[in-house]
């Protein structure tokens, strides 16, 4: 299994939250004593938050910090050293809901072109009823719901956008919500109040390279955040009384992918257990000098070639030539020995071929 090392040392946190760092950052690692309830003043005014977690709605108070039970770190595609605790809820009756809120230390404004990122680890076990919603939501105040990443009501897949979907669409991914622990990553692109603020979502992206919106797992294109947001909520609701376990850990928010994925180290192969298509992403960065990342997805095991050509069709490099399993892959291409110009890269299997263009500028 692919492993990614996620370091949360004190030195890193001091760097992230120093005055010289980014203005908008927040992190929650649930590093509290086992048994601490989410509604017993968990957390303080630090690390991007203005205060503690507190309950808004809850027929039960059983969301608490636990050790490795519902979320077993060895089952993740990530290694999380020095963390043995996480947040977990096991509702004990059906038709219930739990809503917990924590305010950020400032309102994150809707400034045109600004990007906000969020990531967290989530795991659901014993899911037997799709008539539920659970996940992490953005709010402005206690009642202004703006978006959600998690599992929407009425579906059996991870979703983004509102907590109430009720049908398929671009907001719905292809990954089942009870398929094991995942790392969910979201990106909001703010419009400055002149239009929707789309929310893109990826499931288990490569931490080493910012994911491309063209290969997102889901997108909510109609989110409106005209007044920004200042509150994060963790919610569970619906028919959840059949032993369901919902676990969360490592909530991070920032203004760049590095804020929510760094410091992490990735590997060339992303072990995506749920590939759904044969796809070749646009290289990133593009234009590039002298290196660029090329990512692609395979839906089944087979012979694969990844080649680079010039405008005359001459083969310049063979980046991949062999048998690979289904999954997501990333290759770094160097054009150090090439001149500035337009080049092509092509992903080939015995049944399918995809070719894209890239530009080298020196």
Total domains in the chain come to: 2
Local confidence band at 329 (pLDDT 50, 70, 90 cut-offs) = confident
Q: What pLDDT sits at residue 316?
A: 94
Window from 33-37, 42-46, 225-229 with minimum mean pLDDT: 33-37
- Model confidence pLDDT, tens digit, residues 115-149: 999 999 888 877 766 777 889 999 998 777 888 99
Q: Which two tokens stand for residue 263?
A: 């410091």
Q: What is the pLDDT of residue 355?
A: 93
In this predicted structure, the answer to whether residue 30 has a pLDDT above a threshold of 50 is: yes
Q: Is 31's pLDDT higher than 70?
A: yes
pLDDT value for 190: 92
Lowest mean pLDDT among 73-77, 243-247, 255-259, 343-347: 73-77
Instruction: Specify the CATH number for the domain of residue 203.
Output: 2.60.120.260
Range in 17-26, 65-74, 173-182, 300-309 the model is least confident about: 17-26
Pair 288, 263 in one domain:
no
Residue that is last in its domain, among 216, 244, 270: 270
Residue at a domain's end among 235, 270, 305 = 270
Residues 234 and 103 in one domain: yes
Q: What's the pTM?
A: 0.66
**Residue numbers of the domain that contains 108:** 5-270
**One domain, residues 145 and 115:** yes
- Give Cα 243 distance to the centre of its chain: 26
The pLDDT value given to residue 103: 94
Residues 44 and 150 in one domain: yes
Same domain, 26 and 149: yes
219 and 156 in a common domain: yes
Q: Are residues 219 and 336 in the same domain?
A: no
The residue among 45, 92, 105 whose CA lies nearest residue 64 is 92
Of 270, 288, 313, which residue constitutes the final position of a domain? 270
Task: Check which CATH number belongs to the domain holding 289 and give it.
Answer: 2.60.40.1930
Same-domain status, 132 and 62: yes
Residue pair 142/272 in contact (Cβ under 8 Å)? The answer is: no
Mind listing the pLDDT tens digit for each residue in 144-181? 788 899 988 878 889 998 777 766 789 999 888 877 88
Q: Of 163-172, 185-194, 245-254, which has the strongest mean pLDDT? A: 185-194
Tell me: do 45 and 155 sit in the same domain.
yes
Asked whether residue 46 falls in the same domain as residue 146, the answer is yes
Residues 255 and 134 in one domain: yes
The segment with the largest mean pLDDT, out of 90-99, 147-156, 226-235, is 226-235
Q: Residue 35 has what pLDDT?
A: 77
Q: Quick one: pLDDT band at residue 346, thresholds 50, 70, 90? A: very high
- The mean pLDDT value for 250-265 works out to 76
* 134 and 217 co-located in one domain: yes
pLDDT at residue 83 greater than cutoff 60 = no
Q: Nearest 5 degrees, angle CA 126-CA 128-CA 134?
A: 75
């Amino acid at each position: 299994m692919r492993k990614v090392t996620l370091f949360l040392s004190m030195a890193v946190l001091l760097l992230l939250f120093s005055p010289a760092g980014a203005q908008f950052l927040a992190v929650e690692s649930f590093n509290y004593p086992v048994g601490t309830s989410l509604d017993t003043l968990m957390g303080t005014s630090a690390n991007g938050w203005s205060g503690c977690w507190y309950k808004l709605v809850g027929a039960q108070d059983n969301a608490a910090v636990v050790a490795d039970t519902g979320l077993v770190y060895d089952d993740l595609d990530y290694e999380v050293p020095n963390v043995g605790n996480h947040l977990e809820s096991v509702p004990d009756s059906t038709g219930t809901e739990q809503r917990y809120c924590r305010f950020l230390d400032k309102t994150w404004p809707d400034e045109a072109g600004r990007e906000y990122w969020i990531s967290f680890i989530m795991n659901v076990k014993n899911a037997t009823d799709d008539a539920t919603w659970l996940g992490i939501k953005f709010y402005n105040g206690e009642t202004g719901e703006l978006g959600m990443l998690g599992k929407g009501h009425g579906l059996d897949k991870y979703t983004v956008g509102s907590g109430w979907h009720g049908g398929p669409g671009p907001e719905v991914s292809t990954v089942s919500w009870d398929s094991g622990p995942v790392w969910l990553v979201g990106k909001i692109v703010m419009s400055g109040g002149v239009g929707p603020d789309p929310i893109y979502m990826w499931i288990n992206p490569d931490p080493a390279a910012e994911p491309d919106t063209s290969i997102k797992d889901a997108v909510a294109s109609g989110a409106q955040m005209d007044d920004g947001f200042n509150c994060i909520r963790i919610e569970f609701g619906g028919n959840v009384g059949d032993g369901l376990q919902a676990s969360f850990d490592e909530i991070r928010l920032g203004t760049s992918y590095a804020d929510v994925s760094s410091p992490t180290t990735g590997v060339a192969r992303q072990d995506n257990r749920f590939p759904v298509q044969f796809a070749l992403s646009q290289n990133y960065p593009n234009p590039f000098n002298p290196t660029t990342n090329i990512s692609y997805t395979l839906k089944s095991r087979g012979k694969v070639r990844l080649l680079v050509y010039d405008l005359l069709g001459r083969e310049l490099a063979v980046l991949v030539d062999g048998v690979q399993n289904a999954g997501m892959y990333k290759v770094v291409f160097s054009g150090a020995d090439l001149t500035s110009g337009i080049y092509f890269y092509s992903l080939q299997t015995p049944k399918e071929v995809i070719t894209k263009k890239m530009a080298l500028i020196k």
